[in-house]
Copies of this chain bind each other. A is one copy, B any other.
Amino acid sequence: MIKVGIIGGGGYTAGELIRVLLYHPEVEIGFVVSQSQTGRLVSDVHDDLVGECHLHFTDEVSFNVDVLFLCMGHGRSKTFMEEHDVPADIAVIDLSNDYRLADDFVYGLPELHKATIQTHKRVANCGCFATAIQLALLPLAKEQLLQSEVHVHAITGSTGAGQSPKSTTHFSWRNNNLSIYKAFNHQHLAEINQSLTFLQPSFDHAINFLPVRGDFARGIYASAYVDCPLSEEEAYALYESYYADDPFTHVTQQNPNLKQVVNTNKCILHLEKHGDKLLIISIIDNLLKGASGQAVQNMNLAFGLAETTGLHLKSVVY
């Protein structure tokens, strides 16, 4: 059994991680640290776990585990790593953006760095938008086919904005509403560019990215288009080949809808050729494939398990 410690256990990504790990057949949760919730039952905070989880939050970090998941806010993982001398043989999977551009962590996108993740003890889990967008573009980059500006539009659920209530996550405001934020400037562009140039070093075009706040809680619906010399058939062949060994990333000829992936670790990709443009639709659950599910997928790889272990999650569909 892999013994797990979770740091920053009160937030959305930690809750989701606990939900997944609780029935992971190879995992035992050793402790869940939360400064703000110390002493409370985990199931009092993540209250869907009533009757299923009898752990209490603690404030004591222990290294008597095989893997640590860092689920704190952005910036706080770095502080944690500086303040703690985490033994090198303990795997660390960081869900913040602190190490995604760092050399000492592997960037935790299995569809790009699977072999490295399997042999590494430090994994920087990808951003949610970054996951959806990269999975839409990686096959083209691998073939050096990103030869023009890329146009990306992605709509995210409210859980992407975290647990602290704010005006843009107030139900009265967000219900039936939409708004763009950080147009052309979202912080995930850096990690996206890092991956694309890893595959296609010559890539230096703009990624025009419009992130949108959607009026739903879970999921990212991303669309991207780019000039592309491939026919639709060739494009499908390329994507199917690229993702042939990736059990969560599926290419479909049917026009997809977001709820096909909500509450799963899947990414569904769909392609359409219109004139010179290739349109790629990419959908994920931001809390799973975009965060905690991918973190478990990375853990599975790092510990030599089948990638899908504990991750056959029933979609919510409706």
Contact = CB atoms under 8 A, between A and B. Distances in A.
A175 interface: yes
A198 interface: no
Given A215-B216, A217-B176, A275-B184, A262 B153 contact: no
A46 B255 CA distance: 13
A178 B51 contact: no
B172 A159 contact: yes
A295 to B, nearest CB: 14
Contact of A155 (B44, B155, B277): B155
B179 A158 contact: no
A214 B183 contact: no
B258 A177 contact: yes
A262 B255 CA distance: 26
A112 B62 CA distance: 45
Nearest to A225: B208
Contacts of A259: 48, 173, 176-177
A151 to B, nearest CB: 5
Contacts of A208: 151, 225, 277
A172 B272 CA distance: 27
Contact of A48 (B50, B51, B279, B315): B315
A279 B184 contact: yes
A100 interface: no
A170 B179 contact: no
A260 interface: yes
A47 to B, nearest CB: 5
A31 to B, nearest CB: 21
Interface in A179-231: 179-181, 183-185, 206, 208, 210, 212, 214-219, 221, 223, 225
A185 B44 CA distance: 24
Interface in A113-171: 151, 153, 155, 157-159, 163, 165-167, 169-171
27 contacts: A15-B317, A19-B314, A47-B252, A47-B260, A48-B261, A48-B317, A50-B250, A50-B260, A51-B268, A157-B172, A158-B171, A163-B172, A170-B170, A172-B217, A175-B176, A175-B217, A175-B318, A176-B216, A176-B217, A177-B258, A178-B258, A181-B255, A183-B272, A185-B274, A206-B275, A208-B225, A212-B221
Given A51-B250, A165-B165, A215-B216, 14 more contacts: A47-B256, A48-B261, A50-B250, A50-B268, A51-B252, A153-B210, A163-B172, A176-B217, A176-B218, A178-B219, A178-B257, A184-B277, A215-B215, A316-B316
